[in-house]
Amino acid sequence: MPEESLQGRVVVITGASSGIGEATARAASAAGASVALLARRADRLRDITADLEGKGGGRVIAVAADVTDEHSLTRAAKQVSEELGRCDALVNNAGQMLLSRFEASKVDEWRRMIEINLVGALLATDAFLPALRDGGGDIVNISSVAGRKARPTSSVYSATKWAIGGWSEAVRQELIADRVRVTLVEPGAVRTELAEHISDDSIRETTRAMYDTTDALHPDDIAGAVVYAISQPPRVSINEILIRPTLQEY
């Protein structure tokens, strides 16, 4: 990937306070982009932006926002427009993976995942779409292998990621005339904070063990794929990228 492949572009990343989102912000910045990091933990965003400032080609800003709240996203889009002037790429990455058996009836966790993983991506896209349409842009949706392969304990998480896949493809077709490209990225196991929020102790332990036995991916591995997709020439649209650890079977 050319070092300055995103020179002059503005990239907005949701869920940029840790894991894949943070790594994507660092990779986009290293590729020369100006970057807006969105998440709820403003302190984490401040630390990352302070670390990135002056390292990449463009500017780096922290935007405290909750993707489940459309007013918060409207404010975020305004802040990005005022401080960076445009938005060329939106990475819908914010998410939670609250694995449980369906019979455990963790209704609050179902709602949280649907609100963050699915509705959050819709709302963020709605807020940034006018800017993305202005000259052609990129929408990158971070789905999961769980959006293709359902497994016990992943039912509702899989449902949210399956939904993202369907929505992405329809939106890709709708936005062709505006030259907005849509990319679906489907990571397998990636070593991040994601599994730490699982409330069932035994499922959390099993998930952690799976990350060890599969020699899980690093967040940078996914960040590289995102930068690859959005740094293609305008005629090239990378629609889907599925990335597993070499040792992950399902």
Q: Which residues are tagged catalytic? A: 157
State the minimum distance, in angstroms, from the CB of residue 56 to ligand NDP: 19
Rounded-to-integer distance, Cα 7 and Cα 5, Å: 6
User: Does 214 contact ligand NDP by CB under 6 A?
Assistant: no
- Our CB check for ligand NDP shows the closer of 24 and 231 to be 24
Assess contact for 142 and 20: CB atoms under 8 A. Answer: yes
* Residues in binding contact with ligand NDP, number by CB under 6 A: 31
State the minimum distance, in angstroms, from the CB of residue 7 to ligand NDP: 26
Beta bridge partners of 91: 13, 140
Rounded-to-integer distance, Cα 237 and Cα 245, Å: 24
- Our CB check for ligand NDP shows the closer of 112 and 179 to be 112
User: Does 98 contact ligand NDP by CB under 6 A?
Assistant: no
User: Does 18 contact ligand NDP by CB under 6 A?
Assistant: yes
User: Does 156 contact ligand NDP by CB under 6 A?
Assistant: no
User: Does 142 contact ligand NDP by CB under 6 A?
Assistant: yes
User: Does 189 contact ligand NDP by CB under 6 A?
Assistant: yes
Rounded-to-integer distance, Cα 91 and Cα 14, Å: 6
Rounded-to-integer distance, Cα 244 and Cα 111, Å: 27
User: Does 12 contact ligand NDP by CB under 6 A?
Assistant: no
User: Does 96 contact ligand NDP by CB under 6 A?
Assistant: yes
Place of tokens 């509705």: 119
Q: Could you write out the DSSP letters of every residue in 44-65?
A: HHHHHHHHHTTTSSS-EEEEE-
Cα-based distances in Å from 191 to 133, 167, 239? 34, 27, 24
Residue 153 gets which letter from DSSP?
T
- Our CB check for ligand NDP shows the closer of 184 and 194 to be 194
State the minimum distance, in angstroms, from the CB of residue 171 to ligand NDP: 17
Helix, strand, coil abundance in the chain, percent, nearest 5: 50, 15, 35
Question: For every residue of 187-206, which 3-state class applies, written as one string?
Answer: ECCECCCHHHHCCCHHHHHH
CA angle centred on 92, ends 58 and 34, rounded to 5°? 5
User: Does 94 contact ligand NDP by CB under 6 A?
Assistant: yes
User: Does 141 contact ligand NDP by CB under 6 A?
Assistant: no
Cα-based distances in Å from 15 to 40, 44, 45, 141? 8, 11, 10, 12
The stretch among 19-27, 51-59, 80-88, 227-235 that binds ligand NDP (CB under 6 A) is 19-27
State the minimum distance, in angstroms, from the CB of residue 72 to ligand NDP: 8
The stretch among 48-56, 79-87, 89-97, 130-138 that binds ligand NDP (CB under 6 A) is 89-97
Residues 59-88 that bind ligand NDP (CB under 6 A): 66-68
Residues that bind ligand NDP (CB under 6 A): 14-21, 39-41, 44, 66-68, 93-97, 116-117, 120, 142, 144, 187, 189-190, 192-194
